[in-house]
Amino acid sequence: MPFFSFYFVFTNVVYVIEKYLDWRQYLKLKIRKLPHDCKEYVEEEEFKKIQYYGEDKMKYNFVHSTFDHILHLVQLQYGLLPYVWKLAGLGLAYFNLSPDSEIVQTLFFLGIYSVLNSILSLPWSTYYTFVLEEKHGFNKTTLRTFILDIIKSYAIGIVLGVPFISLFISIIKWGGQNFYLYVWAFLCVFQLFIITIYPTWIQPLFNKFTPLEDGELKTEIEKLAQRTEFPLTKIYVVDGSTRSSHSNAYFYGFFKNKRIVLFDTLLKQMNRDEILAILGHEIGHYKKNHILITLGIVQIQLFAMLFLYGNMINNSELYRSFGFYDSKPTIIGFLLFNMVYSPVEHVLGFCMNYLSRKNEFEADTYASKLGYPNQLKSGLIKIHKENKSTLVPDPLYCTYHYTHPPLMERLKGIEKSKNE
């Protein structure tokens, strides 16, 4: 099978399709007249600001994604992966390490590759934060915080990445023909480990979490948790305003140890009942088992992917197609397999987006049934207005990209649930 040609054609087809959808969305964002069905929820000047923000983001994404696409094609055509792998091999020789140290060479390879990609992506992230977000009043990040975030991210990547990659390759080497079973088990455990430590150990490196002060809001949240049998243990406020004026709320934790996190920006933007409605929506995800179902589906997909990878790991033609003629490094095989597996990933991603939108409707209905339909509607309207989220998305663009339904569809769904 001509793996390289297959992937080269597929990635270009995907690019053309996505740019066509971007163009459709861009035309929607050029609308300046307030649609009739939005007049009840937003003023005309607010609508224009939302449209300008969406238009600027779309222009940025178009240029950025086109740059990345061309760069990716150049890297493929001129064999960047084989070159960097050989460069990593020279690193072994420089440090007088055994040329058979595949794990060390892999770490060198990933280190070089990630540094190169970071250098290329830095101008884009800098522009997005300090120009685009600044222009529309969202950016609160200082240059010092921006630089420290990059350093912290690299440090975390090294601390977690080195043992992860080492174990990943070691398990594949040790596991024999059925290695995919052991790798799957390892990745499941690692995912649960990351989910556990991220909110308690990693995210506090970037944001400050403080317990919600005693008062009416805290009391009402605790009452809501008791009423819905939600195993709430703690309520935190995170200083999201130090980086952005965007707002959010979420919960985390396993089993009987759930913790709610409220962005300080959310507390400033909403009243008590609207916050309770938003939390009712999040509790709806828990009561409907959306998170567990999604996690289970992801594990099934992961197992299927690793099983197929197990049947491709020694395919010499796969390596030769991308310029690896003399060796079949484990990590390279995994990266190449993911490239040729990408059509399946796109289909699965499309299906998961559909499932996610369905789950959002169900969580909205749950919050509405708790007695917060009007408060949920006003809360969602405020979130969309404050975050300047698109109010008139293109249907095809929305179907392909969105994990959450458009605001107007959610409001109709909530109104419908009131009469059921």
Residues 76 and 15 in one domain: yes
Residues 316 and 253 in one domain: no
Look at residue 100 in the predicted model and tell me its pLDDT. Answer: 78
Residue with tokens 């609160």: 140
User: How far apart are the C-alpha atoms of 364 and 377, rounded to whole Å?
Assistant: 9
The model's pTM: 0.90
Neighbour count for residue 86 (Cβ, 10 Å): 15
In a domain, 335, yes or no: yes
Lowest mean pLDDT among 15-29, 92-106, 170-184, 243-257: 243-257
Q: Is the pLDDT of residue 219 over 90?
A: yes
Give catalytic status of residue 420 as yes or no.
no
Contacts of 9 (CB under 8 A, 6+ apart): none
163 lies in a domain? Answer: no
Residue 420 has pLDDT above 80, yes or no: no
> pLDDT by residue (tens digit) across 290-325?
989 999 999 999 999 999 999 889 899 999 999 998
Residue 122 has pLDDT above 90, yes or no: yes
For residue 246, pLDDT over 90 is answered with: no
Question: What local confidence, expressed as pLDDT, does residue 327 receive?
Answer: 86
pLDDT tier for residue 151 given thresholds of 50, 70 and 90: very high
Distance CA 162, CA 82 (A): 21
Residue ending a domain, among 269, 294, 314, is: 269
Whether 103 shows a pLDDT value over 90: the answer reads yes
Question: Quick one: 237 and 314 in the same domain?
Answer: no
What is the DSSP pairing of strand 232-238 with strand 258-263?
Answer: parallel
Q: Is the same domain home to 265 and 311?
A: no
List the 209-211 sheet strands across, edge first.
209-211, 232-238, 258-263, 249-252
- 345 domain residue, yes or no: yes
Determine whether 273 is an active site residue.
Answer: no
Q: Which of 407, 415, 416 is nearest to 35 (CA)?
A: 407
Residue 356 and residue 250 in one domain: no
User: Of all residues in the chain, what percent carry a pLDDT higher than 90?
Assistant: 76
Give the lowest-confidence range in 40-44, 127-131, 220-224, 416-420. 416-420
Mean of per-residue pLDDT scores for the chain: 92
Task: Check whether residue 122 and residue 43 sit in a common domain.
Answer: yes
- Tell whether the model's pLDDT for residue 253 goes beyond 90: no
- Decide if pLDDT at 203 tops 90: no
Q: What is the mean pLDDT of residues 225-244?
A: 89
pLDDT band at 142 (very low <50, low <70, confident <90, very high): very high
pLDDT score at 188: 93
375 Cβ contact list (under 8 Å, min separation 6): 273, 274, 276, 277
* pLDDT band (50, 70, 90) for residue 330: very high
Q: Is residue 278 part of a domain?
A: no
Q: CA 93, CA 98: separation in Å to the nearest integer? A: 7
Query: Do strands 209-211 and 232-238 pair parallel, antiparallel, or not at all (unpaired)?
Result: antiparallel
Helices (H), 30-43: none
Identify whether residues 322 and 231 lie together within a single domain: no
Say if 385 falls within a structural domain: yes
Q: Are residues 84 and 22 in the same domain?
A: yes
Residue 222 domain flag: yes
The mean per-residue pLDDT over the stretch 151-155 comes to 94
Residue at 148 is within a domain: no
Are 212 and 218 in contact, with CB atoms under 8 Å apart? yes
Which residues lie closer than 8 Å to 46 by C-beta, 6 or more apart? 385
Total tally of structural domains belonging to the chain: 2
Q: Mark whether 130 and 7 lie in a shared domain.
A: yes
Asked if the model's pLDDT at residue 256 lies above 80, the reply is: no
Considering the domain architecture, whether residues 244 and 344 belong to the same structural domain is answered as no
Q: Is the pLDDT of residue 197 over 90?
A: no
Which residues constitute the domain of residue 248? 209-269
**Is-contact 274 379, C-beta < 8 A?**
yes
Q: Quick one: which of 221, 201, 204 has its CA closest to 212?
A: 221
Range from 131-145, 238-252, 357-371 carrying the lowest mean pLDDT: 238-252
Region 199-220: what's the mean pLDDT? 90
Higher pLDDT, 406 or 1: 406
**pLDDT the model gives residue 96:** 86
Domain termination residue (choose one: 243, 269, 295): 269
Residue 97 has pLDDT above 90, yes or no: no
Whether residue 244 lies inside any domain: the answer is yes
Q: Does one domain contain both 259 and 336?
A: no
Q: What is the DSSP string of 121-165?
A: HHHHHHHIIIIIHHHTT-B---HHHHHHHHHHHHHHHHHHHHHHH
On whether both 9 and 128 belong to a single domain, the answer is yes
Of 133, 282, 362, 394, the active-site residue reads 282
Rounded percentage of the chain residues whose pLDDT exceeds 70: 99
Neighbours of 371 (CB within 10 A): 14
CATH code of the domain containing 244: 3.30.2010.10
Residue range 333-368, pLDDT digits in tens: 999 999 999 999 999 999 999 999 999 999 999 999
Q: What is the pLDDT of residue 133?
A: 94
Residue after which a domain boundary falls, among 249, 269, 289: 269
The single-letter DSSP state of residue 228 is: T
